Amino acid sequence: MDAREVLEQVKSGGISVEEAERYFQKQPYEEMGYAKLDTYREIRSGFPEVVFCSRKADVHLKNIYKRLYEENGEVFGTRASVRQYEVVQEVLPQVVYDDVSHILKIEAKDKTRIGEIAVCTAGTADIPVAEEAAQTAEYFGANVNRIYDVGVSGIHRMLSHLDVIQRANCVVAVAGMEGALASVLGGLVSRPVIAVPTSVGYGASMNGLSALLTMINSCANGIAVVNIDNGYGAGYIATQINRLAVKGE
Amino acid sequence: MDAREVLEQVKSGGISVEEAERYFQKQPYEEMGYAKLDTYREIRSGFPEVVFCSRKADVHLKNIYKRLYEENGEVFGTRASVRQYEVVQEVLPQVVYDDVSHILKIEAKDKTRIGEIAVCTAGTADIPVAEEAAQTAEYFGANVNRIYDVGVSGIHRMLSHLDVIQRANCVVAVAGMEGALASVLGGLVSRPVIAVPTSVGYGASMNGLSALLTMINSCANGIAVVNIDNGYGAGYIATQINRLAVKGE
Amino acid sequence: MDAREVLEQVKSGGISVEEAERYFQKQPYEEMGYAKLDTYREIRSGFPEVVFCSRKADVHLKNIYKRLYEENGEVFGTRASVRQYEVVQEVLPQVVYDDVSHILKIEAKDKTRIGEIAVCTAGTADIPVAEEAAQTAEYFGANVNRIYDVGVSGIHRMLSHLDVIQRANCVVAVAGMEGALASVLGGLVSRPVIAVPTSVGYGASMNGLSALLTMINSCANGIAVVNIDNGYGAGYIATQINRLAVKGE
Amino acid sequence: MDAREVLEQVKSGGISVEEAERYFQKQPYEEMGYAKLDTYREIRSGFPEVVFCSRKADVHLKNIYKRLYEENGEVFGTRASVRQYEVVQEVLPQVVYDDVSHILKIEAKDKTRIGEIAVCTAGTADIPVAEEAAQTAEYFGANVNRIYDVGVSGIHRMLSHLDVIQRANCVVAVAGMEGALASVLGGLVSRPVIAVPTSVGYGASMNGLSALLTMINSCANGIAVVNIDNGYGAGYIATQINRLAVKGE
Amino acid sequence: MDAREVLEQVKSGGISVEEAERYFQKQPYEEMGYAKLDTYREIRSGFPEVVFCSRKADVHLKNIYKRLYEENGEVFGTRASVRQYEVVQEVLPQVVYDDVSHILKIEAKDKTRIGEIAVCTAGTADIPVAEEAAQTAEYFGANVNRIYDVGVSGIHRMLSHLDVIQRANCVVAVAGMEGALASVLGGLVSRPVIAVPTSVGYGASMNGLSALLTMINSCANGIAVVNIDNGYGAGYIATQINRLAVKGE
Amino acid sequence: MDAREVLEQVKSGGISVEEAERYFQKQPYEEMGYAKLDTYREIRSGFPEVVFCSRKADVHLKNIYKRLYEENGEVFGTRASVRQYEVVQEVLPQVVYDDVSHILKIEAKDKTRIGEIAVCTAGTADIPVAEEAAQTAEYFGANVNRIYDVGVSGIHRMLSHLDVIQRANCVVAVAGMEGALASVLGGLVSRPVIAVPTSVGYGASMNGLSALLTMINSCANGIAVVNIDNGYGAGYIATQINRLAVKGE
Amino acid sequence: MDAREVLEQVKSGGISVEEAERYFQKQPYEEMGYAKLDTYREIRSGFPEVVFCSRKADVHLKNIYKRLYEENGEVFGTRASVRQYEVVQEVLPQVVYDDVSHILKIEAKDKTRIGEIAVCTAGTADIPVAEEAAQTAEYFGANVNRIYDVGVSGIHRMLSHLDVIQRANCVVAVAGMEGALASVLGGLVSRPVIAVPTSVGYGASMNGLSALLTMINSCANGIAVVNIDNGYGAGYIATQINRLAVKGE
Amino acid sequence: MDAREVLEQVKSGGISVEEAERYFQKQPYEEMGYAKLDTYREIRSGFPEVVFCSRKADVHLKNIYKRLYEENGEVFGTRASVRQYEVVQEVLPQVVYDDVSHILKIEAKDKTRIGEIAVCTAGTADIPVAEEAAQTAEYFGANVNRIYDVGVSGIHRMLSHLDVIQRANCVVAVAGMEGALASVLGGLVSRPVIAVPTSVGYGASMNGLSALLTMINSCANGIAVVNIDNGYGAGYIATQINRLAVKGE
């Protein structure tokens, strides 16, 4: 129903002024005082709201998890600590915590997964970020292939997995230190590469800034970059691309 | 034909040792001395090789344009100067130059365009970069809608074009100065947003670095970033996404 | 008239569906193809649209100046070059150019000015930026006192103008190099200080970044900062404050 | 009494040489050895001295709180820790601590508040900084409306509070990550926006530097910026503006 | 055996398709699930794989040490903590830990050392990084002379060791703070100098970035630089150079 | 005469109220509209005002030179261009220009020089900055020894001039690129070293920032640093030190 | 005795070849294995060696303190922790620790102090760095006046101490945050100002980098800068200048 | 002849005091006033002095070229402009200029070249820097293989030249933009890789700083880095390594 239709309904009495006002106020969220839960979010964007656990107060976290679980039958949060896991367990005992990715979730059973995303890392230290990406994409309904520890200093390791990488609808390239993985992948595949710099490294890596610059400056085509350690963001956009690829328009 | 198949054909005599050798040498490029034209590139990636004209020597530029045109029946280059236009005209008089996007090309006639990409700019000064993105995507076969001068300081201008933006398979957000356009778009659409920081601005914009940081740190989902002023890169990855959306797997 | 009132008028037939639709479309701007002139801006913000001349194409600049002059009876642009002055003169011969501030304008006669703003500079090289601030504030209807060349390395020069500075509703502090002027002023006045770092300096001044950092880190209270060389921005916000001071709520 | 009057009084014997000397020495503060309490500050600037608790030695903190409370009947400090709260309680049992804003204060009863300031945040993690701003402004005598969690990635949430934001004399925009909130607000209101970047974020947010750059480069008018996490500074300057608006000149 | 020979062997049946496939897949490593041990590495590069212990999970570290020790009869890791030492001791009781260099190793007995490398430091605080370099080079089979605490602020200390430094095949210069050691050494020797900036320093040393810049900008010839605190990297390349010097081609 | 004495003179009638007022107004400068000439500066600081010619408007430059020459019988300016030389010649034909240091001056005859300052450079490209320092010090009355091209990559060149360097009251160390000269000098002399980073270099020298960091982080004692290319500043402070050394208290 | 004299003594038999060799070996330091104590340093530079305690191993620290105390009858170290104080007490029970400046020392009794140095701070949080400077200068034999908490946001506090500041042979200006103190002092005194940026501040102060830039870019004359928090370095060079002033050449 | 021998000769009268003094003064260079030609340099380091032409004054350049040519029978300079070529031609008509590498030289005939160095570039725009490296190494007597345009975005191009690269004694990796070439090469060869970042790129490449960071952070072993665009430096150190490899100790 577009604006004109709403207005015509108002005129004809089909809907009340109050209903129309709400339509135009664009206020489809629930007020919780300390936060505005975007419960219509799934309808608008096709994705449920996800909890960024880091720095959340215990009482807020508990309530948000409870509320979202009641609303959606599942709930998913990133950057959770072990202590936060225990806190949420008090209200949702079935909650599951993965201490590699730091994801804290209750996932509905028997969800279908579609398409194929490849998540690659340069080293083993990049795996926590890669798992955040992979599990995010899986939660949002994508099949994920993990190809870890295929950094450019041993290019033969990557070449031997090229078929899996090349057939994915989207490739997520996770790398710290000099972050060259994305460029090499970009030259080898025909699908979009989402590059995730990580804070792995020391000295002049400047907590991932160096890898970020490498990826932004990539001479290869078909590469776009998300924030340092932002596995979630990469998993999200990879899911968007994978959905487009599977469903078409 | 994968490696095992090649080898079994070698064993059975189906293909000669020489043919197999070429397969494994992975050398599908043409040596020009000063450059290696990646002529098999279209087969590998689905995209023909594009010329980055900036800083190329005249004689090299002429030969590369000529060679690629003979190979593909069309040729496309970015960051060309007016002088380079004149240089290429000597060998390819039909070459066309656009002094907004600085694209220098010969495009085949009657190419079909598919899908839909939205290219948005924050201001009018961002248009040259946006045009590089838009014309790149069009050359690679996508339909493009241009929505220019809809920066966040006048949010009503963007809201009035929301329908066109929301129905695109991929949105390209081009902005300099503080680069907030991408975040606002990311919150309003369900498809991937490719953010392009531009060097438009002064003072603390640091030639686009500030806009780049804004975009990388975006709190909105579904945003990935390319290099400052890299309209071409955004047009390329937007095309990849658009193709996936139209054709599916 | 707020949204509810509009809707009730629609219901009662007081206004037509078409009028209401326009209200909710929030599209009060004029489409020029390459730019969207925000002609209702003065109503919304109390300030007419101003032209940022730098990098504008000649033909666009001419049309924008012409259109805004027709709309408002006056027109004001910043960062204009001498050449742009000549271009605009072709369509608006009465246009006036100031080669210190690089402001290009036609100003209505007999405008009233209210209140008082003090614009201070550390050195003589900061005057172009200060003039951009001062003339912007004057164009928007404020009285301006200029106190130039009172940098902190000769603190007695500033102290002797303290009365003029202290009685202003807002103080604009313009300084390059180490930018300490704002801190000293902040400690001496009870009204807001808008600090403008300038690109004046060399070496580690990094084109004004050092002065920007100084001002942002100021230990004095009542200081807020705009972009490097952004005299216009300082003049604008100083005018807003001056208006509030004169008119009250 | 200005300098000439003082001197004439000296000549005529109306005041002693010693009194005049003190006048010219401009020494209206109290020497405490380790610190110089600016007890005339309220007269000079209209604001009482505020304690920046961070890093202060316990014994100094106790004495400063005690002395200021005796002088003014109230006392206000920012960036206090829980431990510092306990320390000050020893001498001032009635002191109150807010563990969100980290403000430690004794506030006089029945103070009148005037005008209206709007304090907005992009996310919930920005609330501590926003509360420092809001409570500072309230302590200095302003009415404050809090509009939290209205970041640009869900622009509809902000639009639904536009009336409260637009009627404030000054808007404080508190945001971390990409900090785009200030630009969008700047385009929607006619009063000054004081932007506060926060250290909320990770990776390329560089502890708030990215948000600071975004805000400094804002394309919207009427925005000035304070230091990262400097809620106090924003509350202070917002109070100055609010006072001017209410009281006029 | 090169590619053509392999293919001719396939054709003639000399080797099987599977063997040939493995040849072309370039997959000479062992898959451990969480990491890909590069066990052919010693053959390919002349150096055994070394363990970067920092951030490795305990169970992974134990298995990697065990597996590499079984493969090579010795094992060498850098950036190990005391706790990691205890962890590895559980499976390899003979493992040795050096708490200056943080190297954790089992070294084969009676290894021959060749040539001569000089490892110099500017101060005593640089010794941990220098020891990582020195012990790495010794493990890889080089003789090492240590010349510590010869920084440029007391140039006579370095000059008195000039003979030892000048006769080395490669000089490793380890320095933090301003990092000037490498330049002075570069002017005094005829062999390559590998410069290692360290994070020793404070303030504007920015954790070694300043020393890194000093060394990269060195006006002396024959200097190349590795990452901040990367003693291992310097020891590795110094060994490569020393081997070339001793063995020739 | 200090403040109390002035006041007592006022009381006793020794000086008039007007004279006393001027004393307290601390306004010992001459207002030129666009600049405030600090003509009492020599009395206050012991140094006459110096002109920073860069960016000065022609008409201003001419008047300032004329006015200062009339006041002091000599005049001295830095960073002058050849064109500015010609401009000033119109009013002061006897003005002298040095195209190495870019100093433009008229110097009184028969001035006495005292003490000894050593000005050292790392390379020949640093000489323009060194000459600005040396000629500044000479103009202010110091004897200067120049020791050029003694950079640390050939330490023997510096050692052979050690006697001249060591006997100076103050050493000025001018160096670009990695800027290690100051540290080595600091270790060899017992007098203060004023370090001047220069913008000589390329790549990671970042226009002198790298040399600045080197010098600020120096491990040697007795070193303080001025801005990049600020030969004048170094000559000034070296003169202050030299005067103290010669005259004592 | 210079080189020629030594050689002539060798020729004449006045000194033996062995003695002369030692002279030319320039090895006047004591080798401790892990460090080279520069025991002739006092003769060469006029200053005894000082211990930088931070990061020193306990056993090394003990030995160095013991050895230097035996050599000189006093010993002085900076950046010592309370724990290091306890460690040194084991071997030197009379050692004294100051927990403001973190200086750990045994000072000879009845040392004469000469001249006058002024040490100023902007705020109270800068006092630890100022005390490091002041006590260093006192240890090296200078009289020091402390003028603390005179930052530029309350300029009257500094003006009231101007006489003490102006009569010093050298002024040390210690300031964090925006670091403007040095510029204001530089304009008010005729003697050298040594500026010490401190890491006091938050947000964009970037741990003192912002104050460092402010001071390096100062528009005032007679200012040179040492590293962030380097109170020792400032005390050292101030002592050098003070000695020159008192003793003359 | 070492120091003791000299001294014994002095004692015995075998050499004069003056001769011995010169020995100890370490002054083996020729004084030219404006520069100190290091004519003994070839003996000390095995390399003749090379001219860094950039910014040299014409008259100095001419004399230096002439003097070095007379001394060595050949002369070699980098970063020369076409105009400098013409200037030197006046005194040395046989001088040769290469407008790709900007090298200006007279090279002796029939020089032998030894060993093998591989110089690789990522793109064609990196060739000028690569040629500076290659021609430097050739001038100093090394054989050089050029492998250009083998960047990581088309890894097959590099793999097809692997044999030439792997057999070199030293590999020079020249790359701008993201600079990933060095890492991939480092993983494929067993000899040292000297990485040269170039200023090729735009936007976030920050004139080569991004490539520099990539290379410094490389996860591959055996890589050390020189300054941005420093082809000469890479050619020099590659020559040192090649000489060691060919000649052994």
User: Per residue in D147-178, pLDDT tens?
Assistant: 999 988 777 778 778 889 989 999 999 999 98
β-pairing verdict for H96-98 and H103-106? antiparallel
Q: Which chain D residues contact residue F8 at CB under 8 A?
A: 17
CA atoms of B64 and H149, how far apart (whole Å):
14
Chains linked to D by 3 or more Cβ pairs within 8 Å:
A, B, C, F, G
Mutation site for G-interface testing, chosen from H1, H10, H23 by largest number of G Cβ within 10 Å: H10
Amino acid (1-letter code) at residue G14: G
What's the whole-number mean pLDDT along residues G151-157? Answer: 80
Q: Which residues pair with G37 in a beta bridge?
A: G30
Closest residue in G to E122 (Cα–Cα):
G35
CA atoms of A168 and A164, how far apart (whole Å):
7
pLDDT of residue A45: 66
F55 touches chain C (CB under 8 A): yes
Closest residue in A to B232 (Cα–Cα):
A221
Chains linked to C by 3 or more Cβ pairs within 8 Å:
A, B, D, F, G
Closest residue in F to G185 (Cα–Cα):
F45
Amino acid (1-letter code) at residue D170: C
Tens digit of pLDDT at every position of chain C (249 positions): 556 677 788 888 888 877 776 666 443 445 555 555 554 455 556 687 899 998 888 988 999 999 999 988 999 999 999 999 999 999 999 999 999 999 999 999 888 999 999 999 998 899 999 999 999 999 999 999 999 998 887 777 787 788 889 899 999 999 999 889 999 999 888 899 999 999 999 999 999 999 999 999 998 899 999 999 999 999 999 999 999 999 864
Chains linked to G by 3 or more Cβ pairs within 8 Å:
C, D, E, F, H
Long-range contacts formed by F168-171: CB under 8 A, 24+ apart:
F168/F116, F168/F117, F168/F118, F169/F115, F169/F116, F169/F117, F169/F241, F169/F242, F169/F245, F169/F246, F169/G244, F169/G249, F170/F117, F170/F118, F170/F194, F170/F237, F170/F238, F170/F241, F170/F242, F170/F245, F171/F117, F171/F118, F171/F119, F171/F120
* Position H181 pLDDT exceeds 60: yes
User: Average pLDDT of each block of 10 consecutive residues along chain E (249 residues)?
Assistant: 72 79 48 49 69 88 92 93 96 96 94 95 93 97 94 79 90 93 89 96 92 92 96 97 84
pLDDT of residue G207: 92
Closest residue in B to C22 (Cα–Cα):
B160
pLDDT of residue F2: 56
B102 touches chain H (CB under 8 A): no
Q: Which of B4, B11, B21 sits opposite E3 (nearest CB)?
A: B21
Closest residue in C to F25 (Cα–Cα):
C160
What's the whole-number mean pLDDT along residues D108-114? Answer: 91
pLDDT of residue C233: 96
Of the candidates H39, H61, H56, H57, the one whose C-alpha atom is nearest the C-alpha of residue H48 is H39
State pLDDT tens for residues A208-233. 999 999 999 998 899 999 999 999 99
CA atoms of B199 and C55, how far apart (whole Å):
12
pLDDT of residue F16: 81
Q: Which chain A residues contact residue B218 at CB under 8 A?
A: 227
Q: Which chain G residues contact residue C210 at CB under 8 A?
A: 210, 213-214, 216-217
Lowest mean pLDDT among D157-161, F58-62, F125-129, G67-71: D157-161
C26 touches chain B (CB under 8 A): yes
Rounded to the nearest angstrom, the minimum Cα separation between B41 and chain H is 9
pLDDT of residue F8: 81
Rounded to the nearest angstrom, the minimum Cα separation between G175 and chain D is 15
D25 touches chain C (CB under 8 A): no
pLDDT of residue C84: 96
State pLDDT tens for residues B51-80. 999 888 898 899 999 999 998 899 999 999
Banded model confidence at residue F21, pLDDT cuts 50, 70, 90: low
Can you give chain E as a three-state secondary structure string?
CCHHHHHHHHHHCCCCHHHHHHHHHCCCCEECCCCEECCCHHHHHCCCCCEECCCCCHHHHHHHHHHHHHHHCCEEEECCCHHHHHHHHHHCCCCEEECCCCEEEECCCCCCCEEEEEEEECCHHHHHHHHHHHHHHHHCCEEEEEECCCCHHHHHHHHCCHHHHHHCCEEEEEECCCCCHHHHHHCCCCCCEEEEECCCCCHHHHHHHHHHHHHHCCCCCCEEECCCCCHHHHHHHHHHHHHHHHHCC
Window F:175-214, CB contacts with E under 8 Å: 177-180, 183-184, 186-188, 201, 203-206, 209-211, 213-214
All domains in chain C, ordered by first residue: 14-106 (no CATH), 114-247 (3.40.50.1970)
E strand or H helix at G141, and its extent?
none
Q: Which of D38, D60, D228 sits opposite G204 (nearest CB)?
A: D228
**Tally of CA atoms within 13 A in the half-sphere of F131 that contains its CB:** 17
C225 touches chain D (CB under 8 A): yes
Chain B with chain E: Cβ pairs closer than 8 A: 32
Q: Which chain C residues contact residue B127 at CB under 8 A?
A: 34
Rounded to the nearest angstrom, the minimum Cα separation between H178 and chain A is 5
Rounded to the nearest angstrom, the minimum Cα separation between F206 and chain D is 21
Q: Which two tokens stand for residue G91?
A: 């071997």
Mutation site for C-interface testing, chosen from A4, A5, A7, A25 by largest number of C Cβ within 10 Å: A7
Q: Which two tokens stand for residue A79?
A: 């950057």
pLDDT of residue G24: 60
Q: Mind giving me the DSSP string for C85-136? A: HHHHHHH-TT-EEETTTTEEEE--TT---EEEEEEEESSSTTHHHHHHHHHH
The answer to whether the CB atoms of C199 and B203 lie below 8 A apart is yes
Q: Which chain C residues contact residue B204 at CB under 8 A?
A: 208-209, 212, 227-228
Q: Which chain C residues contact residue A13 at CB under 8 A?
A: 11
The answer to whether the CB atoms of E159 and G26 lie below 8 A apart is yes
Buried b (16+ CB within 10 A) or exposed e, H31-52: eeeebbbbbebeebbebbbbbb
Alpha-carbon distances, residue H139 vs B233, H143, H216 (angstroms): 41, 10, 28
* Position A201 pLDDT exceeds 80: yes
Judge if pTM exceeds 0.80.
Answer: yes
* Position B243 pLDDT exceeds 50: yes
Q: Which of A7, A13, A24 sits opposite C17 (nearest CB)?
A: A7
Q: Which chain E residues contact residue G215 at CB under 8 A?
A: none
CA atoms of A190 and B44, how far apart (whole Å):
7
State pLDDT tens for residues D183-217. 999 988 889 999 999 999 999 999 999 999 999 99
C38 touches chain B (CB under 8 A): yes
Cα-Cα-Cα-Cα dihedral sign, residues F199, F204, F209, F210: negative
pLDDT of residue H162: 83
Q: Which of B195, B236, B249 sits opposite A221 (nearest CB)?
A: B236
Banded model confidence at residue B12, pLDDT cuts 50, 70, 90: confident
Of the candidates C1, B27, E152, the one whose C-alpha atom is nearest the C-alpha of residue D163 is C1
The answer to whether the CB atoms of B237 and A217 lie below 8 A apart is no
C21 touches chain A (CB under 8 A): yes
Rounded to the nearest angstrom, the minimum Cα separation between C161 and chain F is 10
pLDDT of residue A41: 52
Mutation site for A-interface testing, chosen from E21, E23, E24, E26 by largest number of A Cβ within 10 Å: E26
8 Å CB contact between C68 and C99: no
H4 touches chain E (CB under 8 A): no
E strand or H helix at B189, and its extent?
none
Mutation site for E-interface testing, chosen from H225, H230, H242, H243 by largest number of E Cβ within 10 Å: H225
The answer to whether the CB atoms of G149 and D55 lie below 8 A apart is no
Of the candidates B214, C130, B9, the one whose C-alpha atom is nearest the C-alpha of residue D178 is B214
The packing angle between helices G17-25 and G3-12, to 10°, is 160
State pLDDT tens for residues H113-136. 999 999 999 988 999 999 999 999
* Position F43 pLDDT exceeds 70: no
Lowest mean pLDDT among D219-228, E110-119, G52-61: G52-61
State pLDDT tens for residues B40-58. 455 556 687 899 998 888 9
The answer to whether the CB atoms of H21 and G10 lie below 8 A apart is no
